[in-house]
Chain A
Amino acid sequence: MARVLSAETLDAIAGARARYPSAQSALLPALHAAQAQAGYLPEPVLADVADALGVPVTEVAAVATFYSMFHTAPVGRHVVRVCTNLSCHLNGADGVMDRLCRQLGIRPGQTTPDGRVSLEVAECLAACEEAPVLLADADRVARVTPDAADELVRRLRADA
């Protein structure tokens, strides 16, 4: 019996499972689905995924911790990923990151105390023609300026 995952998430995992000849291949899609529901991947969620696919939970945990998009600790309701790689670096990404740190009162890799926003360094987002670039959750923001960063923080704070 699943402890945390909903019937809907388990259905999604079963759907993914059917696309591969091996159950373990569905692990990444399953972890994506689980994280979409639970927000992050604590031990009980990993156990549910392990059960759903018949893969040892130690293996599920090893995979979950390898990939940077999977969070095994709680993250903010919003995740802001700022690219600071080469083309963005050349176009002022460090200034954007500094402004976000100041406005949010946190450092990259941290979450605001109210649990609203997590800030992360992103590697090249393959959108260098729009440098500097960030991802606010699933939305890519092009040619970010420090002022646009202020605006983003206001928007994320206002969102209930």
Chain B
Amino acid sequence: MPTPERIVSKHLGPERAAIDAYLSTGGYRAAARALKELTPDQIIEMVEQAGLRGRGGAGFPTARKWKLTPKREGETRYLVVNADEGEPGTFKDRTLIEGDPHAILEGSLITAYTNGVHHAYIYLRGEFFLGYERLSRALAEAYARGYFGTNILGTGFDLELTIHRGAGAYICGEETALLESLEGRRAFPRAKPPYYPAVRGLYDRPTVLNNAETMAHIPYIVGMGPEAYKAAGPPILYSVSGHVVRPGVKELPIGTSLREIIYEHAGGLRPGRTLKAVYPGGSSSAILLPEHLDTPADFDSLAKIGTMLGSSAIIVMDDTTNIPAVIARAVDFYRDESCGKCTPCREGTVWLSQIFARILGGHGRMEDLDLLDGISRNMTGTCFCLLGESVPPSLRASLKYFRDEYVRLIEAGSRRAEAEPAARSAHGAGARS
């Protein structure tokens, strides 16, 4: 299977932060055309025709989001770019930030112009030290050449863009928590309604909030035209990792099957290994089995089989994988990153984590499996934001598909306890290291 021509990830490289490198491949031409020749409505129409759906996880149609943002005369609006990438397994935004930062900047410029925005912020994950260096350099050079600031390219359009560094909190990826953080507070999510960012966002103003990869698609849609863009895929960046021979960002037409992504583009599994399970859309998506591999990796097909495309992060697990240990690690992640605002998430993740520690430590009981399932059910639909809602899907799928593995762990623990009763006290409560 030939790899299709890449568009969004065609020019990745350490030298791309230099504006001349970006300009040499046609960079900022789409922005110049947009600002000089196109009206905002024409650009929205192009993005709509292209069928672009947000790449932050929810897949919300980008043009619709922009239309929902009220454009009242004289009212300040903001653009906020979500570059806080933290969903386990996802690395396409970081790849673009480090490898082609001007594409995100150019997309932001076009988006700001389209939505009548004069102040934009890129919320960049705090741990992205290299990304900060490259993005800052790119922005400084773009300002110096007149792509940001006042009277951009002589069009009279003004835009100030600021990079805002986060400081280590996964919840800041959630859009309303991100805005709290950008306003200098602890990152507790806001209630939706009424705080939909499009209508009541940053400083209570209408705010266009888009993912970093979403921004990077915009120059290509405007530059190539929506028809050519669609014919080339439309493209999407899959992050493929775990037990594959060639992990990495794979730019492919959306809806490529999981099988093709894993076996053709990521080099398949290591010699002698077989596939056990796969996360199709980051740790928040329900895991799948080998029998699901022919499913197209797109929003609707994955939703139909009870999981989701999410951030399109495909984590591959081979037959050596201890599934309960993987799920336990994910649970601990959500426990540690829970902001603590609501009870089902704050307490549910702690309970789940304790039960996993018991099972993995050899002190599990058969009733624990029902407890895991019961707590997961009680968290479903009751959490204040989607962080808490992200815990049950893969946990419940693992109980369904790999119950025997949990049972074996519990039985092995009981056998050991019978054989050497002293082991129980010696190992304490079986806390995980």
Contacts and interface: CB of A to CB of B under 8 A. Distances in A.
Interface in A128-143: 128-129, 131, 135, 138-140
A149 to B, nearest CB: 16
A123 B91 contact: no
Contact of A126 (B90, B162, B165, B433): B90
Interface in A103-141: 122-129, 131, 135, 138-140
Interface string A60-101: 001100111110000000000100111101110000001000
Interface stretch (B177-185, B215-223, B377-385): B177-185
A89 B326 contact: yes
A85 B334 CA distance: 11
Given A86-B88, A86-B330, A22 B94 contact: no
B40 interface: no
B104 to A, nearest CB: 14
- What DSSP secondary structure best describes chain A's contact surface? mixed
A129 B239 contact: yes
Contacts of A55: 184
B164 interface: yes
B23 to A, nearest CB: 26
Nearest to A67: B167
Interface in B303-354: 313, 315, 317, 321, 325-326, 329-330, 333, 336-337
B126 interface: yes
A90 B243 contact: yes
Contacts of A139: 129
B326 A90 contact: yes
B248 interface: yes
B85 interface: yes
Contacts of B253: none
Given A26-B184, A87-B315, A124-B88, A67 B169 contact: yes
A29 interface: yes
A25 B313 CA distance: 32
Interface residues of A, number: 44
A32 B330 CA distance: 29
B166 A86 contact: no
A20 B186 contact: no
B184 A85 contact: no
A152 interface: no
Given A66-B187, A67-B166, A129 B247 contact: yes
Interface residues of B, number: 55
B89 A63 contact: no
A139 B170 CA distance: 20
A135 B129 contact: yes
A126 B86 contact: yes
Contacts of A67: 126, 166-169, 187
A19 interface: yes
A144 interface: no
A35 B379 CA distance: 38
B203 A21 contact: yes
A81 B315 contact: no
A20 B183 CA distance: 9
Interface string A20-56: 1111111111011000000000000000000000010
A86 B326 contact: yes
Contacts of B183: 22, 24-25
B167 A28 contact: yes
A19 B387 CA distance: 30
Contacts of A131: 241-242, 247
B93 interface: yes
Interface in B148-196: 160, 162, 164-170, 181-187
A26 B185 CA distance: 10
Nearest to B170: A123
Contacts of A138: 129-130
Contact of B93 (A20, A21, A122, A126): A126
30 contacts: A20-B162, A22-B203, A23-B184, A28-B164, A28-B167, A28-B181, A29-B165, A66-B169, A66-B186, A66-B187, A67-B166, A68-B168, A69-B127, A81-B127, A86-B326, A86-B329, A87-B88, A87-B89, A87-B247, A123-B170, A123-B333, A124-B87, A125-B127, A126-B86, A126-B91, A126-B125, A128-B239, A128-B241, A128-B242, A129-B241
